[in-house]
């Protein structure tokens, strides 16, 4: 299943139901047919399978934070890796995130002890803070503290070809967010709310554009849209501060990660 390195947007929306946008999840294939998922919003695993990536293709999950629209499919992942039987010869799947990820995992297993709490453990929960980490298939990876929730981390991945992609998760302005996207080839940045209706802990298109401009990213992808953001054209607002390549995420969108 080798292919050019690519990003697949599996979910560009929020928990507000929409027929065309589902909850947060992104898939990065560094070019070897395996995949890392960024976040696990409800239904993420089904959407990954629909894109051609079943459990055998996954080699890790990076969690930006633990709000349910980004983490709820952790339950489905735990169950699927052990049923109908644990997969012989496969090592536990690493899942990286803030230290509170371990607490969340313990609580969901306790909530359904007969469904999640029995059988061999197939998830390798790896709690991290800001700093470098090793992610299979990538030349480099780094986590950044992000202002949103206590558990929020952004991630920067360097592909084997040198291409750098940054993911904010939910976020608001700050030096760490700009550092995350610094000179990146692609910056996947949330723009959840309209500029006229600010919400604490989230960005709007104009504010995201200012962050992207300060970071010097080459290609800005806006995502995590609540319905009100897209009622008016987004690009004119972005162009008040950012002149580089712009994409508005759509579920199913594929971006080749090449120069």
The confidence score (pLDDT) of residue 118 equals: 64
pLDDT block averages, 10 residues each, the chain of length 259: 87 96 98 95 97 94 98 95 77 95 94 78 92 96 96 97 98 96 98 95 97 98 96 96 98 97
Q: pLDDT per residue over 182-219, tens digit each?
A: 999 999 999 999 999 999 999 999 999 999 999 999 99
Using alpha carbons, list the distances in angstroms from residue 202 to 76, 149, 169, 172. 27, 10, 10, 5
| CATH number for the segment(s) 6-256 | 3.60.15.10
CA distance 236 to 185: 22
125 touches 101 (CB < 8 A): yes
Token pair 């803070």: residue = 129
Q: pLDDT per residue over 64-91, tens digit each?
A: 999 999 999 999 999 998 887 776 677 8
Domain locations in the chain as residue ranges: 6-256
Give the β-pairing of 131-132 and 140-145: antiparallel
């Amino acid at each position: 299943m080798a292919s050019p390195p690519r990003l697949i947007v599996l979910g560009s929306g929020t928990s507000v139901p929409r027929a065309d946008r589902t909850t947060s999840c992104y898939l990065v294939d560094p070019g070897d047919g395996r995949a890392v998922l960024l976040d696990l919003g409800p239904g993420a695993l089904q959407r990954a399978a629909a894109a051609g990536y079943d459990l055998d293709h996954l080699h890790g999950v990076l969690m930006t934070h633990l709000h349910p629209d980004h983490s709820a499919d952790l339950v489905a992942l735990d169950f699927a890796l052990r049923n109908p039987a644990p997969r012989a010869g496969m090592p536990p799947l690493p899942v990286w995130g803030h230290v509170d990820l371990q607490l969340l995992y313990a609580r969901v297993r306790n909530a359904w002890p007969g469904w999640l709490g029995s059988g061999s453990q197939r998830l390798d929960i790896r709690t991290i803070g800001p700093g470098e980490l090793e992610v299979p298939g990538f030349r480099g990876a780094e986590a950044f503290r992000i202002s949103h929730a206590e558990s929020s981390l952004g991630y920067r991945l360097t592909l084997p070809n040198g291409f750098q992609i940054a993911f904010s998760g939910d976020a608001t302005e700050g030096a760490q967010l700009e550092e995350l996207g610094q000179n990146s080839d692609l910056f996947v940045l949330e723009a959840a709310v309209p500029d006229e209706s600010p919400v604490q802990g989230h960005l709007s298109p104009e504010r995201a554009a200012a962050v992207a401009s300060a970071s010097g990213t080459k290609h800005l992808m806006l995502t995590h849209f609540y319905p009100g953001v897209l009622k008016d054209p987004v690009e004119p607002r972005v162009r008040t501060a950012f002149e580089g390549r712009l994409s508005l995420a759509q579920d199913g969108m594929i971006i080749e990660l090449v120069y």
